[in-house]
Amino acid sequence: MWMTLARAREESHPLDAIAVYEPAALAIIDRKKADQYQSAVDLMVRIRRLADSAGKPRRFASLLERVRTEHKAKRKLKALLDDQGW
């Protein structure tokens, strides 16, 4: 339900959508299931786009820094982030 609401609010309220997507991405990563990391990265792609459109690129940069710092041992996740050029 929250994800549906976030998608509906992306254009008009991008920061509200980010507030839903960010904890969802982190929760996926915290599950420690490498086959699900792509879903987290897909959300991060969406978060980056929304943060940029809201004029808050630092919001995404903070998330990326947190993920890279807290999950640096997760090679598959690191590779997926690298594939995005982050």
pTM score, two decimals? Answer: 0.92
Q: What confidence score (pLDDT) does residue 76 get?
A: 97
CA-wise closest residue to 6 among 42, 43, 39? 43
- Cα–Cα distance measured from residue 50 to residue 32, given in angstroms and rounded to the nearest whole number: 26
In sequence order, what are the residues at sequence separation of 6 or more whose Cβ sits closer than 8 angstroms to the Cβ of residue 17? 6, 7, 9, 10, 46, 50
Read off the pLDDT band of 49 (50, 70, 90): very high
Chain-centroid distance, C-alpha 58? 13
Helical axes 14-30 vs 57-70, angle rounded to 10°: 10
Q: What confidence score (pLDDT) does residue 21 get?
A: 98
**Does residue 25 register a pLDDT over 90?**
yes
